[in-house]
A and B are shown apart, each in its own frame.
Chain A
Amino acid sequence: MENLKSTPLEAEHIKLKAKMAPFGGWNMPIQYESIIEEHMQCRKSAALFDTCHMGEFYFKGDLANTNIEMAFSFKIGTINVGKCRYGLILNEKGGIVDDCIVYRLSADELMMVVNAGTKDNDFNVIKSVLKGNFIFEDRSETTSKLDVQGPLSRELLRKYFPGIIDELKYFSFTKTSLMNQEVILSRTGYTGELGFEIYMPSTICVDVWNDLLKDERIKPAGLGARDLLRLEMGYPLYGSDLDEDTTPLEADLSYFVHLDKDFVGKEALLKQKETELEKIRVGFVCDSRRAPRHGYKIFADGMDIGYVTSGGFSPSLGKGIGMGYVKPQYSSENTILELSQDRVIIKAVVEKIPFYKDGSLRK
């Protein structure tokens, strides 16, 4: 039996009768009552997610003299104080070790937010490239994180962060206070809706959770809804859509790779750019409510041309959607695909992501 970790909110989830399941080494709520209702709650009003399982690293040091740029596919030095940036950590082969967000806390301080299941490895990979004088700490144990996502999230949080909440731009953050503790409030998320993430000392997490839920416009949502929300946006999930054998070029994440700086894996990516890719990530929409699942094979013209990495029923579209890797010649829009496992055959067409286009993300 796996030794699962618990977030500070485990007892609250159980009180709310959540279905709990292992995720990234943690015992997490998958759903409270209904995944689809929790999904719609986030699209229409506001949803509260326990994301305490995610990892937070703290770095302090001269960015130019500690080799920190080598650890990330994207530029760290050009992130302005108060802004955050999404990108990748790669291995020497250009494979994706993790995706993450780096926050520029001050001229020489960073916070890095990484996935739960990869956290320890990420820490070692980043640390292995650092040189000179620096502080690099894993603060995941003492840091809790709650995500408030949905079109009403700003309105709901205004009473806690008056003024500040209205000034915060997309992918920005600020240090502020909540329940007499210093917290980081960022306008980030992974749902496609206007949303905020609050990083706080774990000591206040339960109180903040319960206080937020006093407002009936917000409801808790589990990882099931979170997965569908990110899938409708075409956001990749590490472990399903991204792994160490897949490069950012294959994952169609080149935008987050800055080839005009040095980083681990760059040589491999430059070499890969000169050859034809063997696979590329695409999104597809099915012709029925039937949903493809991770591991289904993808066929086109009667040939096996790839595999599904994420799939599900899209409540917003009323159809099955998914993403996966196909041979590049089958990656253009409207290409007809067949997704198959055992006796299931689902017809689908390649479509541009995001599948869901009406989100409040930038409102």
Chain B
Amino acid sequence: MSRYYSKDHEWLEIDGNVGTIGITDYAQHQLGDITYVELPEVGTEIKQFSIFCTIESVKAASDVYAPVSGEIIEVNSKLENEPEIINKSPEEEGWIAKVKVSDPSELNNLMDKASYENYIKELD
């Protein structure tokens, strides 16, 4: 398994042809208390770097962008009633959706952990 990161602060964990998507710890920290997640529907086709769900915090509603293209095969329905899981465990328990990856070459458009950490250091 390997983990990738986008410039929009999503993470993607690849296991075979299935990718698990969430937002990074940096992103949840920027958003603050998360109060609502508009989950995508299973079966939806998503496109890399297009909006695939919306997360609301106390302060504002923010779009989440798909780090990779594919079909949504599962969503984390726990987030419907406990969206704060993303604040507590953004990169594990707070995963958002699983996707059947349609084009593995898109992974080249993402960063590895070290590059992402350098990237957020520059943002601060």
B26 CB to nearest A CB, Å: 14
A168 CB to nearest B CB, Å: 32
Using C-beta atoms within 8 Å of the partner chain, give the interface range for chain B.
Answer: 10 to 19
B88 CB to nearest A CB, Å: 11
Q: Which one of B32, B58, B83 lies within 8 Å of A312 (CB-CB)?
A: B58
B49 interface hit (Cβ, 8 Å): no
B42 interface hit (Cβ, 8 Å): no
Cross-chain contact B33 with A289 (CB below 8 angstroms): no
Chain A binding surface SS class: mixed
Cross-chain contact B38 with A290 (CB below 8 angstroms): yes
Cross-chain contact A36 with B58 (CB below 8 angstroms): yes
A37 to B59 alpha-carbon distance, docked (Å): 14
Cross-chain contact B36 with A291 (CB below 8 angstroms): yes
Of all chain A residues, the one with the shortest Cβ separation from B51 is A343
B32 CB to nearest A CB, Å: 6
Of all chain A residues, the one with the shortest Cβ separation from B80 is A289
Contacts A34-B32, A289-B36, A290-B38 given; does A313 touch B61 at CB 8 Å = no
Number of A-B contacts (CB under 8 A): 39
Chain B residues lying within 8 Å of A291, measured Cβ to Cβ, are 35-36, 56, 61
B117 CB to nearest A CB, Å: 21
B60 interface hit (Cβ, 8 Å): yes
Chain A residues lying within 8 Å of B38, measured Cβ to Cβ, are 290
A69 to B51 alpha-carbon distance, docked (Å): 56
A29 CB to nearest B CB, Å: 13
Chain A residues lying within 8 Å of B32, measured Cβ to Cβ, are 19, 31, 34-35, 224
Contacts A228-B58, A293-B61, A312-B58 given; does A35 touch B36 at CB 8 Å = no
Q: Which one of A35, A288, A344 lies within 8 Å of B33 (CB-CB)?
A: A35
B57 CB to nearest A CB, Å: 8
Of all chain B residues, the one with the shortest Cβ separation from A19 is B32
A36 to B84 alpha-carbon distance, docked (Å): 11
Cross-chain contact A344 with B35 (CB below 8 angstroms): no
A40 CB to nearest B CB, Å: 11
For window 8-45 of chain A, which residues contact chain B by CB distance below 8 Å?
A: 19, 30-31, 34-37
Q: Which one of A31, A37, A224, A344 lies within 8 Å of B61 (CB-CB)?
A: A344
Contacts A289-B35, A290-B38 given; does A35 touch B56 at CB 8 Å = no
A288 to B79 alpha-carbon distance, docked (Å): 13
For window 16-65 of chain B, which residues contact chain A by CB distance below 8 Å?
A: 32-33, 35-36, 38, 54, 56, 58-61
Chain B residues lying within 8 Å of A224, measured Cβ to Cβ, are 32, 58-59
Chain A residues lying within 8 Å of B36, measured Cβ to Cβ, are 288-291, 313, 320
Q: Which one of A35, A288, A344 lies within 8 Å of B58 (CB-CB)?
A: A35
B87 CB to nearest A CB, Å: 8
A36 to B59 alpha-carbon distance, docked (Å): 11
A312 to B61 alpha-carbon distance, docked (Å): 10
A312 to B60 alpha-carbon distance, docked (Å): 9
B55 CB to nearest A CB, Å: 11
Contacts A289-B83, A290-B38 given; does A34 touch B33 at CB 8 Å = yes
Chain A residues lying within 8 Å of B33, measured Cβ to Cβ, are 34-37
Chain B residues lying within 8 Å of A36, measured Cβ to Cβ, are 33, 35, 58
Contact with B along A191-235 (1 / 0, CB 8 A): 000000000000000000000000000000000100010000000
B54 CB to nearest A CB, Å: 8
A211 to B4 alpha-carbon distance, docked (Å): 47
A279 to B34 alpha-carbon distance, docked (Å): 33
Chain B residues proximal to chain A, CB less than 8 Å: 32-33, 35-36, 38, 54, 56, 58-61, 83
Instruction: List 20 interface pairs A-B (beta carbons < 8 Å), by A numbering.
Output: A19-B32, A34-B33, A35-B32, A35-B58, A36-B33, A36-B35, A36-B58, A37-B33, A224-B58, A288-B36, A289-B36, A289-B83, A290-B38, A290-B56, A291-B56, A312-B58, A313-B35, A313-B56, A320-B36, A344-B61
